[in-house]
Structure 1
Amino acid sequence: MSAASTPSPSSPPGARPATTTGRGRPPKLDPARTVEVALALLDEAGLDALTMRRLAEAMDVRAGALYRYFATKHDLLTAMAEVLLADCLDRPLSSPDWSERLAELARRMRTALLGRRDGARVYAGTHATGAHTLGFADALIGVLREAGFAADDAARAALTVVHFTLGHTLEEQAACQGAGEHGPADPERLREAVTPGRYPHLATALPVLAGTDSAAHFEFGLTLLLQGLRALGPGDTRPETA
């Protein structure tokens, strides 16, 4: 007699429940282990090389077995994205100031995405609804609501923080992959193209544009974003949209 399928507490969101054998042996394949192996392959070969077939080979199972838990590759990426944010709320925020708390959450997200090869590409467009993703979103909106922002403004501000952080990290990781291949990260190619006579303003900004201090670029953009939110101000009395 076979045992019933039961969901595992640690199963990634969107995954179907694992099935135990009649004799109580652990399943050869389960959602959590599948995501773990997929993340290892991601670090090893990158997102473009992460296919369901390659993942199945790494787990020594048939490719069709993976679809018991993840109907599509997008479902798998959504589960992987959920894991990426696992450590973003592992410790309390350090500042009582709302803007600093918001900045700290943005920095934690950037660090989490940079912690995996192609992490930003994995996260982009997945819209996970697991505890890590929803908890992070709740923390962002909570900081703003506690500061006095209207619910609509808090929601849009949280989306802006996430989109800025995600977009910046996408560019960072793309630049790293393009380095040495005459891609967007090749500063010499940019220096050769920007001649002072033809592009005088770009020439004056070239030290920054051709620089590799991504953290400084991120902090500058984050500062602008926070200044804009301060200008909007908590306690705005504009009516919320229906």
Structure 2
Amino acid sequence: MSSPSTPPAADAARPPTRGRPPRLDQARTVEAALVLLDESGLDALTMRRLADAVGVQAGALYRHFATKQDLLTAMAERMLAGCSTPPPDPDWSGRLTALARRMRTALLAHRDGARVYAGTHSTGANTLGFAETLVGVLRGAGFGPEEAARTAMTVVHFTVGHTLEEQAALQPGDQGPADPEQLREAVAAAGYPHLTAALPVLAGTDFTAQFEFGLGLLLQGLRTVHRPGAGPAV
């Protein structure tokens, strides 16, 4: 009696066999890329290493991803899975805050996540769904289409930029993670009185507190300049 045939998923995970290239699955390839990202970081993620991980020749990847940037866009799209569900908070500013927090959490879930996301322009369901929810929260609060779009981009840019700095500061490298003591010594040697007074925060690593403070400033500004129906804020 012949043994049962091997499922397609097992074929995809097996190294290539002579005369029969393995079936390449785009979604599983993206997941493999995220695993490699978490293991070694963005700089070490190459198409060749990814091809080895999924058991194909490097050229086979280009059937799904014409360039590495296409791969990064697909990875960024995958990172935002589950972020677009409308938050339950009844207040628009609370919903906006929840969405920004979700995005930061999604990027922090992967090593160099913010670097991967920055500069990508996915038109996938996760990215567009998140944007739709974000803009919808603002329009529901009375923001016009242009004002809502610009506000949404500002929230995203703040979140990505903050997370870029956060991950860079905490990421071990040749010199190790960022050293607050080096900043303290430089400020003390130069005798900057204002920086000396601010050092507990400047040399701190409570990135969540800093994120919440910046997000709070952004929302405070929005509440100050936004009057529903009054047109774009200046």
TM-score range, shorter chain: 0.7 to 0.9
Instruction: Determine helix, strand or coil for the equivalent of 1:195.
Output: helix
After TM superposition, the structure 1 = structure 2 runs for residues 1-242 of structure 1, keeping only pairs within 5 Å, are: 28-89=23-84, 91-178=85-172, 181=175, 185-195=178-188, 198-238=191-231
Q: Distance in 1 between matches of 2:174 and 2:57?
A: 38
Q: Distance in 1 between matches of 2:37 and 2:50?
A: 10
Judging changes above 3 Å, is the alpha-carbon distance between structure 1 residues 193 and 138 closer, same or farther for their aligned structure 2 residues? same
Q: Distance in 2 between matches of 1:134 and 1:236?
A: 25
Shift of 1:189: 0.3
Q: CA offsets per residue over residues 167-224 of structure 1, 9 Å max, x none?
A: 00000000011578266x2101011111287200000000001111000000000000
Give structure 1 stretches of 5+ with no counterpart. 1-24
AA partner of residue 118 (structure 2): A
Shift of 1:109: 0.2
AA partner of residue 140 (structure 2): E
Judging changes above 3 Å, is the alpha-carbon distance between structure 1 residues 162 and 239 closer, same or farther for their aligned structure 2 residues? closer
Q: Distance in 2 between matches of 1:152 and 1:98?
A: 17
TM-score by length of 2: 0.86
Runs of 4+ in 1 over 6 A off after TM superposition: none
Q: Quote the RMSD (CA, aligned, Å).
A: 2.1
Q: Distance in 1 between matches of 2:145 and 2:126?
A: 21
Give structure 2 stretches of 5+ with no counterpart. 1-19
Instruction: Name the residue aligned to 1:5.
Output: none
Q: Distance in 1 between matches of 2:94 and 2:23?
A: 45
Q: CA offsets per residue over residues 125-152 of structure 1, 9 Å max, x none?
A: 0111100000000111100000001111
Kept in 1, the 8 Å contact 2:47–2:58? The answer is yes
TM-score by length of 1: 0.84
Q: Distance in 1 between matches of 2:174 and 2:223?
A: 41
AA partner of residue 167 (structure 1): G
Q: CA offsets per residue over residues 20-74 of structure 1, 9 Å max, x none?
A: xxxxx9x621111110100110001100000000100111110000001100000
Shift of 1:238: 3.1
Q: Distance in 2 between matches of 1:208 and 1:180?
A: 25
Q: Give aligned-pair identity as a percent.
A: 70
Q: Distance in 1 between matches of 2:116 and 2:107?
A: 9
Kept in 2, the 8 Å contact 1:182–1:189? The answer is no
Kept in 2, the 8 Å contact 1:95–1:101? The answer is yes
Kept in 2, the 8 Å contact 1:106–1:162? The answer is yes
